[in-house]
Amino acid sequence: MTAAAPVEAPHPDRCYLTVAEAARLIAPGELSPVDLTRDVLARIEATDGLINAYVRLMGDSAMREAESAAERARAGQRLGPLDGIPIAVKDLYDTAGVVTAAGTGAFRERVPAEDATAVRRLREAGAVILGKTNTHELALGGTTNNVHYGATHNPWKLDRVPGGSSGGTGAALAAGQALGGLGTDTGGSIRIPAAFCGITGHKPTYGLVGRGGIVPLSLTLDHAGPMARTVEDCALMLQVLAGPDPRDLDSVMREPDDYLSGLGQSIEGQRLAVIPSLVEGCAPAVTANFERSLDVLRSLGASIDSVEPMAGHGDWRGALAPLLVAEGASYIEEILRTRPQTIGESVRRRMAAGLDFPLPAYIRSLEQRKVVERCYEAALAGFDAYVLPTSPAVAEPIAEDPHTEPSPPFKFRNTSVFDHTHQPSLSVPNGFDEEGLPTSLMISGGLFADALVLRIGHAYQQATDYHTRRPEL
């Protein structure tokens, strides 16, 4: 690891600025990107011994990027609101000349020659790349209890998981170790860490953010997207991240929408749908906070009713099971067959099972995914968006054995649906349980309705303050 040695203790308020707040201070010269980056790096140095959010700091290059941003700010030539903003990058995204290991021993010395498309877009917007954050190995899991790089700890309660697989990014944001971050989401890996760490995370419409240069898990389900403290910050990041990516064969080759212009509009008259089967069985605090969230949305002028998109489809989830691990196994097939010891036991066992799925089962899984997408799109005919608890449970204790991972984890029940539907899905903090652990509200919309989903989430955050709370470290 390399990091510029801080001269003085970090300024905690700067470390917890939102992207939008920092941008408003940098533009008139009230805050230097150099001071901001130095403070965040100092915050990492002071707290990451507790959290283990980062596996690789890029402190020297971050300070150089901050100095360039400061020069542009002084000259009145800022590249946009992300110019000079410190950003954390999940260790699935390629960073030129810096190891991208995807959390596995198999890629411990993998040094890409170029940035992932999303990282390149951030750099072109002037963002300061702080380093690589811990991930569940090969993104296959929900704890970020990594056998190779150690467990990441939840800043709200250090003996709890931060969720996964983007747990390092979620924990870094909650701990004041970054202002924004990149995650990936195949079954909930942006939104579960957002929920467990009390931050905001957006899984965009499938193909909206290019995945070129991201180590894949399931190309049918993988999404790339922003994580931050607020919906506004996610919209600011999405404005830069969205767009065609020739390196991603599933990229939507169309110009993205404007995710900022309508963000502050009222949601009066919006019709929101609850799916009762995905509310049943939630922890009591999750249910109570969700009901309060519905009251907030009603107070903002939204109407709420119920719908079951998959009514009459029986065990529709069962047919989806082969998809993720069959595709994941195919990507690392050579490693599984020749160097299996480089992958941790739990992930290796699940991936190896993917090699044995019969082709007909995999094809049926692909077909079932399309059925689920069509049903969820059709059910929105009378609604504008779905609202649900992000996870039916709060963060569980970190297991002593890092190979322990529930399969399939109950906490992904609600989020994984929207990876299969390819629809945009947003997680925003909506309260805490009796132990002080965060809970979260999920807002999901129709394909390419990202701007609307963000608008509903932003309206909710304007009426609540859960996203402003900080853990005591």
Phi-psi region of 98 (alpha: psi -120 to 50; beta: other; left: phi over 0): beta
Which listed residue (32, 61, 90, 416) is catalytic? 90
For the record, the structure tokens of 66 come out as 């901050």
Cα(295)–Cα(282) distance, rounded to whole angstroms?
A: 18
Among 14, 17, 391, 2, residue whose Cα is nearest residue 180: 17
Phi-psi region of 94 (alpha: psi -120 to 50; beta: other; left: phi over 0): beta
**Active site (annotated) includes residue 165:** yes
Question: Is residue 64 classed exposed, middle or buried when 0-12, 13-18 and 19+ CB atoms within 10 A define those classes?
Answer: middle
Which listed residue (32, 61, 157, 165) is catalytic? 165
pLDDT values of the chain reduced to their tens digit, one per residue, 473 residues: 444 434 345 566 899 999 999 999 999 999 999 999 999 999 999 999 999 999 999 999 999 999 999 999 999 999 999 999 999 999 999 999 999 999 999 999 999 999 999 999 999 999 999 999 999 999 999 999 999 999 999 999 999 999 999 999 999 999 999 999 999 999 999 999 999 999 999 999 999 999 999 999 999 999 999 999 999 999 999 999 999 999 999 999 988 999 999 999 999 999 999 999 999 999 999 999 999 999 999 999 999 999 999 999 999 999 998 999 999 999 999 999 999 999 999 999 999 999 999 999 999 999 999 999 999 999 999 999 999 999 999 999 999 988 776 656 899 999 999 999 999 999 999 999 999 999 999 999 999 999 999 999 999 999 999 999 999 98
Distances in whole angstroms, Cα of residue 283 to Cα of each of 288, 371, 396, 416:
9, 29, 12, 18
Cβ contact 136:144 at 8 Å: yes
Amino acid identity for residue 184 in this structure:
T
**63-107 pLDDT, tens per residue?**
999 999 999 999 999 999 999 999 999 999 999 999 999 999 999
**Active site (annotated) includes residue 157:** no
Q: How far apart are the first and last CA of the chain?
A: 23
Cβ contact 103:143 at 8 Å: no
Alpha helices in 308-447 (DSSP H): 321-331, 333-338, 345-354, 359-379, 415-421
Which listed residue (61, 189, 425, 440) is catalytic? 189
The mean predicted confidence, pLDDT, of the chain is 96
Cα(96)–Cα(93) distance, rounded to whole angstroms?
A: 10
Cα(164)–Cα(142) distance, rounded to whole angstroms?
A: 4
Amino acid identity for residue 89 in this structure:
V
- What pLDDT, on a 0 to 100 scale, did the predictor assign at position 406? 64
3-state helix, strand, coil in the chain (%, to 5): 40, 15, 45
**356-397 pLDDT, tens per residue?**
999 999 999 999 999 999 999 999 999 999 999 999 999 999
- What pLDDT, on a 0 to 100 scale, did the predictor assign at position 12? 61
Cβ contact 421:368 at 8 Å: no
**Active site (annotated) includes residue 90:** yes
Cα(129)–Cα(56) distance, rounded to whole angstroms?
A: 11
Which residue ranges form the domains of the chain, and what is each CATH number?
Answer: 12-319+346-468 (3.90.1300.10)
Return the half-sphere exposure (C-beta side, CA atoms, 13 A cut-off) of residue 154: 27
Distances in whole angstroms, Cα of residue 437 to Cα of each of 33, 285, 289, 431:
32, 10, 12, 8
